[in-house]
Structure 1
Amino acid sequence: MSLSLTEEQEELRLLVRGFLDDKAVGHRPPPPGPGPEEYDPDIWRQLSAQLGLAGLVVPEKYGGTGLSPAELGIVLEELGRSLYPGPFFATVVLAVQTLTRSGDAAAMEHWLPGVASGELTATLASVEPDGSWAADALTTVAEPGRGGWTLSGTKTYVVDGCTADLLLVTARCADGVGVFALPPDSPGLTRTPLDALDLTRPLARIRLDGTPARRIGDGDASGWLAGVYDLVRAAVSAEQVGGAAECLDMAVAHATTREQFGRPIGSFQAIKHKCAELLVEVECARSAARFAGPAVATPGTEASIAAAVARSYCSQAFTHAAKENIQIHGGIGFTWEHRAHLYLRRAKSSELLFGTPREERARLTRLTRLTEAGGTRP
């Protein structure tokens, strides 16, 4: 598998980067308060309408472009580089992949055209209060009712959960795991913003108390949800690579212009070593993420292994790059006015949001042993 970008993929990367740089996304000073940064709806509309990014992986018959997870990873790398605070990840990664992998034609026809046009934002609420998103840890319950289903339970760390126009919720039901769709104004639904470390990614807690919902897909969804979760792991990894690469670029730029003792600090051996180590880590992380992107297009054990490797390595690479960036910047790197701390906040948040590196390594061990034994993905 070639990890180099094709000519079309490179054009896509440059298009997204040029747009984000032109709109100064990621170059503005951090928000003045402790709360999450609100995204600019005008920029989201332009991303959706002009660049067509909202419909990037939406099938063509539903108004999208129908590109693969590989192209999605390229876009996420650039969005991660700028810490874009809009609903792209929640809508295009979490919600669109859930809808398309469900195989529910009626649901896709109902919601995906609105997503592709940028008029509808959505998210997936799958994390339980204990922080787990494993199928066997579900405590949210779905019960059949008159004319539909009702949900009861709590979901937490829901990305863009307070602003999404559509909520997709995982819950346990009599025949296994189900995915359910509900609008934000549903009775018995309460959305509460969380105080999050990452100021560029709003999180919410969702409480459900007999909330009516529509089921997506047929039968036990745990099988195809595993493929969705692998794609989410690969997507987060690509985003982390973009953030780590930007930290490296920021550190190098500062090291070549900041002078001490009459010469740039980048000429000192200690700084050279830091930057060289970061370069190796960033390139290794990029290789892992770009391998995982095409791999997760086909669900299976190999895809799960590639996603676990990328998730584990990229998480630690981003956190290390963000920390070293602050160290190389010195005193200015520790100030609120400088954006270096925003990357460390995103790095630590994304490292924990969908499973820690330690959990991914444990999962990788199980998958490898299963493969050696000739089994299938758990």
Structure 2
Amino acid sequence: MPLTRIFAEAFGVLTICLVALLILLGLVCIGYTFYLHSRVLRQGYIQLSYFSGPWIVRITFVLFTIWWGFGEIIRLNFLRRQGVLNALNLKWQENVCKCYIVSNLGFAEPCLFLTLVFLLRAPLQNIDTGILSRKWNGKTAGCVLLFCLPLFVLHLFLILIGPELREVRRELLPYFTRVAAPGIQNSDDIALCTYPLLNTILLGLFATVLTAYLLWLGRRILKLVINKGLQKRVYTLIFSVSTLLPLRVLLLGLSVLSKPEQFLFEALAFSAFLVQLCCAGVCIVILVYCPVADCLALGNLNDLEARRRVVLDDHNDTASLIANQGHLEGSVAMSPERNSDASTKRGSISFRTFVRDETSAGAFVELSLFSPSRDGSPPGSPTRVGWPMRSPTGP
């Protein structure tokens, strides 16, 4: 077996293993999301309804990631030599490569990042028409599919007219429209998937627009962030997407410099896959796992509801608000059980609350997080994790 083919098969096996881990992470996050949503409905936790509101969109985000992962497995040349795709004739193998380009580059990846944009925009929307609205999940899913449709059609158009375009414009090099390169397996012809440069350029235009919008959106979100923990999450998310997505497009574009099963092509294709895998993993952890984990860590919800009511009733009277909070803190100090709970306090989820007829900024409500650890955090330095709620009259 040629050395280059060994590298190709090694990259193929590693790709399958990494996709399996990504799918496992996605399934765990889906399970956590369902558990949180059922807990909110079953026990009536009004405080958590804002954080569990986009549960359908979060699950959809994970499903798009799983779809993308399966597509990356189907395009592997490893399956054409060792797997079930080897039984298909040459024409059907080329069709599989075409379906991969349209499915992943034209649908799964655009939908993945468009869903990410809508999840980030959610805190900036009006409360009545945003996450707390029952129709928000359905409208968001519909908008994602609607915005992805033009890109999907363009990719499909480029794939279908590729052979005719090459006949009309003979000066056009083959790698601009080629979706598969010929290969030989046991004296039989096989089709090895490639990345057409025109489709890669189209993906690059989408990545450019998306990156510019995410940088602008991230700047708006950071102005609303009220704790350092959430700031780190937003910075990590924006930096990951705005750097890894253009890097993936660049690697896919450079792959046309070599042919499938050559080391350069396999290294570039695997690097592009790995970049997208890391980006998807970071997005799942920050947008799906972390919010659900924070909500599940909340404790003593009756006390949280009491604090919320105190803030809503006395938000116009600052002195009264301070007095009420001092009274709560004093009662905590007098109660041995609450002293025990306070010693295990890990941090808080903070968000803004507003009254519908109020035009000025509302007060902050802290939702205490409790940790089973015996070691409490140092006084005066709680770790706050959360997301701000916007006023109905805000932008």
Tell me the TM-score normalized by structure 2. 0.29
Higher relative contact order, chain-length normalized (CA < 8 Å, sep 6+): 2
Larger Rg: 2
Tell me the TM-score normalized by structure 1. 0.30
Identify the structure with the greater strand proportion. 1
